[in-house]
Structure 1
Amino acid sequence: MSDEIEKHTPAEPGPLSQYMGDIPPSPEWFTRAIATGYDTRFVRVNGARIHYQSWSSPKKPGLLLVHGNGAHAHWYDFIAPYFAQHYNVVAMTFSGMGESDWRDTYDMETFAEEQIAVCEATGMFDHEIKPTIVAHSFGGFVTILTGAKYGDRLTGTVIVDSPVNPPERDISTRPRQARGNRVYPDLNTALGRFRLAPVQPCDNHYIMDYIARWSLKQVDNERGKGWAWRFDPDIWQRFEFGKPASTLLKETACRIALFRGEESELMPDEVKDYMEQILDRKVPFVSIPHARHHVLLDQPLAFIAALRALLADWDHSEPNRTIGI
């Protein structure tokens, strides 16, 4: 599990600082994608309002898109439109992050309940075809639990660069405490402090800028007046992880596919082999070329193409259905 958003100290400006608050140039495909309309709604789960965005209709099979730690539904604003023609595509935001409410305490079971609640609220369980969940990084760990506990209600899960490490790979996979208490005096300063974690280069600054702007909010409180990150900075101090991911992976009760960035330091071959061994079956394992951990940001079009191909294969029972890639 890895922090998706972490602030810089003034001595370590982020890659967006060079733009001085201006929006980096972006390709036409990205501009068209983020201009695609969607509905924004909330569903209440255990007292907290959970934010989600919908691009399509409940008349189509459900496709739930799930973000990583400290991130939000807008990480899929440039991904979701490519699936809206064929799917009831929805992106959600976990509590304590983005536009969803914060909680006094957090746990994996509640995050899984939030996924199921969004599926219910968007009519995914009313369709004859069960929904599929696609989840990145920390969201993938939640989805491993969801696939174990609620797999009979799902077509399958796609776990994107969420490493379940073998015992001999002695590295911490728990999220680090997010340093999100600081209030920045203006938007430009805040954008200049945005970076990805684990630290990695990302050439697509236009995507980083887009998600960074959605990661911030204006505040005027006891901490000051200006701009602050939307996520709860104390979430991992008040969190219960529950069963180990290795145990839950064995209990997966639906189809499962594993994606990784081919250059991801979190998902080397030894992790791939271990996860396949745990599952004790052949599963699709897709490596996205020239992508690191943040696959959606590094190679968004390659990710879209690979996911379309996988879903088309899983939809093989519908012979008249075609999905362009």
Structure 2
Amino acid sequence: MPASPRSATSGSRVSATTAVPAWFSEALATPYQRHDLEVEGARIAYRTWGKVGDPVVVLVHGGAAHAGWWDHVAPFLATSHRVVALDLSGHGDSDWRRAYDLSLFAREVVAVAEAETVGGTGPAEMMPAVIGHSMGGFVTLTAAREHGARLSGACAIDSPVQQMSPETRAWKESGRHVPGNKVYPSWEAVVGRFRTLPPDDASLPYVREHVAAASVHEVEGGWTWKFDPHVFLSAQMEPDDVAETDCPTALVRGERGMATTDITTTVAARLGGHVPVTVIPDAGHHIMLDQPVALISALQALVGEWFRR
């Protein structure tokens, strides 16, 4: 199942003129392993950092994103954890499906988590934890609701429950009745069109460039995005979908993000009320793109607490 080790910098085309701090370069230089796992008829691609047998932490990307959004975060959690970042079906290097829903995505996450946990040498009671951003937070909360007894913890990062994910809203507002990704004539042309949704000029350019470079692939006639636009048809979560879980649950939001105070208060109440909420100052919706160091610190503290018990 595992492929040969590969550095996270493979395929990255970060501009030579972009000022890149040492911590980011060192994170991208940290080797990871690529894997594939079949889940309900689809090949799910994922990557791992850290030692086999350590407690497993699974990182889940947002809508239209991919595992590479975590390349600069995962190595900082891998000093004492087996860190997994997957491409949900319809995203990144994973297979596309005829239809998608949050419960299906949650089963993909749990299958990958348990594949890595079972393969380790740690105690059986060391269950995996899941952390998800935006739509990936919807997936994480769904996994906690439906599979919480099999998890050590779950955290949703700036997930705007009661609203459409920003990616879904943008797609619906585009008026495209037959989803399809536009093909661009060159790699430079498609990467030049990369935008976060909602737009945020605060994204660090070296992080944005790395993420953009891994968001595209070559097809007949040019280059296009890796994601299947059909994922947007069922990527919404309502407050009634949130329920108390059998695992500790936490929320992280950006100060300028989409998971506003009223949303996190509602979600925390639905989860049972005793839910820590961490606010990352001066962060927008895409916290790993504009305040990654603060996010890393928050997640290190969170997983440390989950696995301390």
Matches within 5 A, 1:207-218: 207-218=207-218
Give the CA deviation at 1:184.
1.1
The match for 2:144 is: 147
Identity %: 38
Q: CA deviation at 1:91?
A: 0.5
- Please give the alpha-carbon distance, in whole angstroms, between the structure 2 residues aligned to 1:21 and 1:193: 16
The corresponding residue for 1:120 is: 114
CA distance in structure 1 between the aligned counterparts of 2:195 and 2:216, rounded to whole angstroms: 13
Tell me which residue corresponds to 1:93. 87
Which whole-Å CA distance do the structure 2 matches of 1:271 and 1:76 have between them? 25
State the structure with more CA Rg.
Answer: 1
**1:240 and 1:257, CA in 2 relative to 1: closer, same or farther beyond 3 A?**
closer
Mapped partners of 2:142, 2:119: distance in 1: 18
Letter in 2 for 1:230: K
Instruction: Work out which structure has the larger RCO, using CA pairs closer than 8 Å and 6 or more positions apart in sequence.
Output: 1
1:28 aligns with 2:22: yes
Contact 1:132–1:156 under 8 Å retained in 2: yes
Change (3 A) 1:314 1:172: closer
Q: Is 2:303 the counterpart of 1:311?
A: yes
- For structure 2, the 5+ residue unaligned runs are 1-12, 173-178
Pick from 58, 66, 76 the counterpart of residue 72 of structure 1. 66
Structure 2: distance between partners of 1:255 and 1:248:
17
Q: Structure 1 regions of 5+ residues with no counterpart?
A: 1-18, 166-170, 318-325
Q: Answer yes or no: is 1:108 the counterpart of 2:116.
A: no
Number of positions where the alignment pairs a residue of Structure 1 with one of Structure 2 = 286
Shift of 1:24: 2.8
Does 2:44 match 1:50? yes
Shift of 1:314: 2.6
State the partner residue of 2:223: 227
TM-score normalized with structure 1 length: 0.82
State the AA in 2 paired with 1:164.
V
The match for 2:34 among 40, 56, 61 is: 40
Q: Letter of the 1:246 partner, please give it.
A: P
Alignment partner, residue 289 of structure 2: 297
List per-residue Cα deviations over 1:62-121 (Å, max 9, x = no partner): 100110000010111100100111001110110001100111111222111100110122
What is the alpha-carbon distance in structure 2 between the residues aligned to residue 173 and residue 230 of structure 1?
18
Q: Deviations over 1:205-250 (max 9, x none)?
A: 1111101110010111xxxx1111001123334x486xx5423422
Which residue pairs with 2:206 in the alignment?
206
**How many Å apart are 1:200 and its aligned residue?**
1.8
Q: Of residues 154, 157, 167 in structure 2, which corresponds to 1:157?
A: 154
Distance apart, 1:309 and its partner CA: 1.4
- Distance (Å, rounded) in 2 between the aligned partners of 1:262 and 1:125: 39
TM score, norm. by length of structure 2: 0.86
Q: CA deviation at 1:268?
A: 1.9
Contact 1:180/1:228 (CA < 8 Å) preserved in 2?
no
Task: Tell whether the 8 Å contact from 1:20 to 1:188 is kept in structure 2 after alignment.
Answer: no
Alignment of 1:168-187 (within 5 A): 172-173=164-165, 175-176=168-169, 177=171, 181-187=181-187
**Equivalent residue, structure 1, for 2:280:** 288
CA distance in 2, matches of 1:77, 1:124: 24
Displacement of 1:173 after TM fit? 4.5
Supply the AA of the counterpart residue of 2:71: D
User: Is 1:94–1:114's contact at 8 Å kept on the other side of the alignment?
Assistant: yes
Separation in 2 of the partners of 1:205 and 1:68? 19
Contact 1:296 1:303 in 2 (8 A): yes
Contact preservation (8 Å) 2:132, 2:140: yes
Letter in 2 for 1:218: E
Q: Which runs of 4+ in 1 moved over 3 A?
A: 19-23, 124-127, 171-174
How far apart in 2 are the matches of 1:293 and 1:240?
17
Task: Measure, in 1, the Cα distance between the counterparts of 2:164 and 2:38.
Answer: 32
1:23 to partner: Cα distance:
6.3
Query: Matched residues in 2 for 1:68 and 1:248: separation?
Result: 18
Is 1:62 aligned to 2:56, yes or no? yes
